[in-house]
Amino acid sequence: MHKTSSSSTLGPDGLDISKSFFKPIQGSTPPPLTSRNTKITVVGVGNVGMAIAQTILTQAIADEIALVDVNADKLRGEMLDLQHAAAFLPRTKISASVDYSNTVGSDLVIVTAGARQIPGESRLNLLHRNLALFKKVVPPLAEKSPEGILLVVSNPVDVLTYVAWKLSGFPSNRVIGSGTNLDSSRFRFLIADHLDLNAQDVQAYIVGEHGDSSVALWSSISVGGVPILSFLERQQIAYEKQTLEKIHKEVVDGAYEVIGLKGYTSWAIGYSVASLARAILRDQRSIHPISVLAKGFHGIDGGELFLSLPSQLGRSGVLGVTNVHLTDEEAKQLQESAKTILEVQAQLGI
């Protein structure tokens, strides 16, 4: 077992320095503990896991981060590298171990472990490589943090979120996939770039599979409170359906392009997942397109599956799914996306 933690208090002579360093103030009593620590485990310290960990650290989202990986040297190296930034960051305890006992009592467990996409590989092709891995990883995580929330990032994220749900035995409100939270950010960026404004003023969702069959909800896009499509129609501004489809295609191709250029994606998924971690641990009750148990929504039937729908997140996980209006065409595309996921799932035997 290889276990290390950030808090070593023994001096060279074996004395516990922390006990003698501060003189107690006469008559003072320590303040009562009003809130307990928040702990996040990140499984997999590759490009994605580390981008997530470092974004969580800089945004002071948790009191404690536990890192897990099978590669002990890389794990220790990444832990030390983050710990060495302590003087520039809000205080967070960082620990790392190949042993799952280090993850005990996590409020949130983020799983990024897995084979990553190689250039040109579809996310669904990754599945069989990552299924075996999840069978090793999820049961001990669930056992060590039975009250925790599982947030799956590894691809194909929708199917692996379903796998994690089955393997953990957790209720569905406590198993989430990062889903199209990232795709929606790419979408908002492209629309904002097109209109030369701030992406945070663009309300726009990509739903369905995080991948090739995702669905752009054009009918509900608004910018600064103005519904875009009806605005264009009212102003009799012609827009080509192809133009809209081109923007959606850029979203779908976005990950492939980045992977083709730099080998992996990291920064955007880091921010995307950190935003979900904050929504959960700080009980933000904010709405995010994330992968949730989708059976029964928008005419999705035919089996249990996870795919992304705009959902409200808070301290207990998924609080609800928003009743977003879909056009008939959007609903049909979403049902097709669900079918794609179910077909893949059927090959798993899980």
Q: In terms of CB distance, is 137 or 216 closer to ligand NAD?
A: 137
- The answer to whether 316 touches 345, Cβ cutoff 8 Å, is no
Helix (H, G, I), strand (E, B) or coil at 96: strand
Q: Looking at 157, 175, 277, 281, which residue binds ligand NAD (CB under 6 A)?
A: 157
| DSSP structure string for 134-169 | HHHHHHHHHHH-TT-EEEE-SSSHHHHHHHHHHHH-
Nearest-CB residue for ligand NAD: 46
Q: Is residue 47 part of the contact set for ligand NAD (CB under 6 A)?
A: yes
| DSSP structure string for 287-341 | EEEEEEE-TTSTT--SS--EEEEEEEEETTEEEEE------HHHHHHHHHHHHHH
Structure tokens given for 108: 């949130």
Q: Looking at 40, 42, 46, 165, which residue binds ligand NAD (CB under 6 A)?
A: 46
Q: Is residue 178 part of the contact set for ligand NAD (CB under 6 A)?
A: yes
Part in contact with ligand NAD (CB under 6 A); list of ranges 2-10, 102-110, 150-158, 223-231:
150-158
Contacts 24+ apart (CB under 8 A), 267-271: 267/51, 268/182, 268/185, 268/186, 269/48, 269/51, 269/52, 269/153, 269/178, 269/182, 270/48, 270/51, 270/52, 270/54, 270/55, 271/55, 271/185
Q: Is residue 48 part of the contact set for ligand NAD (CB under 6 A)?
A: yes
Q: In terms of CB distance, is 13 or 73 closer to ligand NAD?
A: 73
Binding mask 198-237 toward ligand NAD (x if CB under 6 A, else -) reads: ------------x---------------------------
Enumerate residues 253-282 that contact ligand NAD by CB under 6 A. 264-265, 269
- Number of Cβ atoms within 10 Å of the Cβ of 331: 16
Q: In terms of CB distance, is 46 or 148 closer to ligand NAD?
A: 46
Q: In terms of CB distance, is 134 or 228 closer to ligand NAD?
A: 134
Structure tokens given for 159: 């199917």
Q: Is residue 161 part of the contact set for ligand NAD (CB under 6 A)?
A: no
Q: Is residue 67 part of the contact set for ligand NAD (CB under 6 A)?
A: no
How many residues bind ligand NAD, per CB under 6 A? 30
Cα–Cα distance measured from residue 250 to residue 66, given in angstroms and rounded to the nearest whole number: 35
**CA nearest 117: which of 262, 307, 290, 277?**
262
Active site residues: 210
Q: Is residue 55 part of the contact set for ligand NAD (CB under 6 A)?
A: no
Q: Is residue 288 part of the contact set for ligand NAD (CB under 6 A)?
A: no
Enumerate residues 110-139 that contact ligand NAD by CB under 6 A. 112-114, 116-117, 133, 136-137
What are residue 110's DSSP bridge partners? 42, 151
Binding site for ligand NAD (CB under 6 A): 43-49, 68-71, 74, 112-114, 116-117, 133, 136-137, 153-155, 157, 178, 182, 210, 264-265, 269
